[in-house]
Structure 1
Amino acid sequence: MNKHQPSIVFLYIFSITFLLFAENSNAQQSMYNTTPTTSFWDKVQFGGGLGLNFGSGYTDIAVSPSAIYNINPVVAVGASLLFGYVNTDSYHSIYYGGSVIGLVNPIPQLQLSAELEQTRFNTDYNWDGGNFSDNYWNTALYLGAGFRTKNVTIGIRYDVLYDKNKSIYAEPYMPFVRVYF
């Protein structure tokens, strides 16, 4: 068994679960839907994230606006943008990108997610008086689960494409807080 096989199995299970809940919820919605149809914008929610991290010789600022479209009470799809800046004594980096996300709420308190993120990193290093630049794209596929209450979800996600030689993160696991209004 190679090291990527468990993440591939998890991806298959997650995909099948996502599709089953999406199909099941669509059938239930059309069978029991007695309310008038709503407009496109009534099903859109906006949200995002703001990250500020300051320390001795360290600054990290990130902004990530996003929007989702609620297909039904169980399934939502959306997109987000990502902008950030990191500055330390030895390097500074500007990064930007975007992602698409699928959300499934099999029960109101549980949210499963799959998010494909593409990020461009432009980094300048200053080591021992020498300068070095590294500019590259990184792709991440996050599968996550979280506890949901109203518009806020708190959970953890895992990058199944994680490569410690390419990622800016130390680990493939990442906690998250997701807010949509």
Structure 2
Amino acid sequence: MKVLHIDSSIMGDASVSRQLSQAIVAQLTQKYPTAQVQHLDLATTPIPHLSADILMGQNEEQSALGEQLVQQYLDADIVVVGAAMYNFGVSSTLKAWIDRISVAGRTFKYTENGPVGLAGDKKVYIASSRGGIYGENSPVDFQESLLKTVFTFTGVSDVEVIRAEGVNMGAEPKEQAMTNAFEAIRSIS
């Protein structure tokens, strides 16, 4: 069992999404004691943003990094993404990771019937945190909707969001959001 754990919040120890993603990984390693966990911290070790040189394969170092990131994603049985909402979307570093794993011929292909995902049968947990309250399917949610779309596009049909929202609306809403999220994490089976 291989778990790919990705954190993207810039808030360090104060990050709600990091707390949630770590709790998910702890729950998974309790369930699967022999699980191998690879951790990518995109805030402390950011991936360079996609450029023409990278896209066209003209930078050997970045091509090698891109291949490593794609292979990590493809090899993972479970992916855990800690994603805080920034200005209605994901962090730019998480978007950089998405750009690097969204590779035609590797994680998806185009057919006469449209795109087909190639990432295989895996589970994705999105540990989502939001300062405000947006709910599911909000017209201004470009965070969870983007992540679900990317994972579905690459062939992952089992995507679960564990959300803590309203965390910047005062102590009581934050505490309730965290309680609800940790309860959902404890029910991971």
TM-score (norm 1): 0.25
Higher RCO (CA < 8 A, seq sep 6+): 2
TM-score, normalised relative to structure 2? 0.24
Higher strand share: 1
